[in-house]
């Protein structure tokens, strides 16, 4: 799997066209995530992976907002959005999400919107999110996880290496993500009808991380052919 340097290069490359290509497509998920978080004036909120700042104008006035991103190109877009919308109380930093430069319990809530599958180590990122969020605070995700539909599942597995080169992974399963991060979401909602994107609302209990992720080593094609052979066998027998 490519590391952080590759991801930084990819998102610097995307920065100039990201809003045009992705923002409208992801807008409903961002709004659902903000509704789940229900930020209140006076709260300190951190957005991990702020990107070009698409979420920033959606927050209510009076919120103390901090955004971090590993890509300077994306941050430049966020600075531009802050200026264009005249947003107050927003701080932006270039920062590695696995090594957040904030003291423990710095924030009332932390948001990761369409971000967790863009990092090589989601487990380390979530532990940092837990650390900087106060106990009892809210941690909210909106993200792609592998679809419950087995056919779509196989397509996502097959294209996983190509998607990762493009900057995100398609093969992260929600149960695996929850197990390795030791998160117990109080609410999980579908963003789209196929179940490809979901919002997770979690209360920060400061739990330690779970076991490290174990990536499947089985070659995709033989495993997929075997699965589909089993599914098609009953149809052949009926004939």
Looking at residue 157, what is its pLDDT?
Answer: 80
Looking at residue 226, what is its pLDDT?
Answer: 57
Domains delineated in the chain: 4-238 (3.40.50.150)
Binned at pLDDT 50, 70 and 90, residue 152 comes out as confident
What value does the mean pLDDT take over residues 1-16? 70
Looking at residue 1, what is its pLDDT?
Answer: 46
Looking at residue 113, what is its pLDDT?
Answer: 96
DSSP the chain: ---HHHHHHHHHHHTTTHIIIIIHHHHHHHHHHHHHH---TT-EEEEET-TT-TTGGGSPTT-EEEEEES-HHHHHHHHHHHHHHT--SEEEEE--TTS--S-TT-EEEEEEES-GGGSS-HHHHHHHHHHHEEEEEEEEEEEE---SSHHHHHHHHHHHHHHHHTT--S---HHHHHHHHT---SEEEESSTTS-EEEEEEE---PPP-PPP----S-HHHHHHHHHHHHHHHHHHH-
* Residues 51-88 pLDDT 10s: 999 999 999 999 999 999 999 999 999 999 999 999 99
* Residues 22-44 pLDDT 10s: 777 889 999 999 999 999 999 99
* Residues 187-226 pLDDT 10s: 999 998 777 899 999 999 999 999 998 776 645 555 555 5
């Amino acid at each position: 799997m490519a590391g952080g340097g590759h991801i930084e290069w990819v998102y610097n490359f995307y920065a100039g066209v990201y809003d045009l290509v992705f923002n409208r497509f992801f807008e409903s998920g961002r709004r659902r995530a903000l509704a789940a978080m229900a930020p209140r004036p006076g709260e300190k909120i951190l957005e991990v992976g702020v990107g070009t700042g698409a979420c920033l104008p959606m927050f209510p006035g009076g919120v103390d907002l901090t955004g971090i991103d590993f890509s300077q190109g994306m941050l430049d877009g966020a600075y531009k959005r802050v200026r264009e919308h005249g947003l107050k109380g927003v701080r932006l930093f270039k920062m590695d999400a696995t090594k957040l430069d904030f003291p423990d319990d710095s924030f009332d809530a932390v948001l990761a919107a369409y971000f967790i599958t863009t990092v090589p180590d989601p487990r380390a990122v979530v532990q940092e999110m837990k650390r900087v969020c106060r106990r009892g605070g809210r941690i909210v995700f909106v993200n792609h996880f592998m679809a419950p539909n087995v056919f779509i599942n196989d397509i996502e597995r097959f294209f996983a290496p190509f998607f990762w080169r493009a900057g995100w992974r398609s093969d992260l399963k929600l149960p695996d993500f929850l197990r390795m991060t030791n998160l117990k979401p109080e609410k999980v909602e579908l963003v789209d009808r196929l179940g490809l994107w979901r919002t997770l609302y979690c209360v920060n209990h400061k739990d330690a991380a779970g076991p490290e992720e174990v990536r499947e080593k089985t070659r995709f094609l033989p495993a997929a052919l075997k699965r589909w052979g089993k599914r098609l066998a009953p149809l052949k027998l009926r004939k």
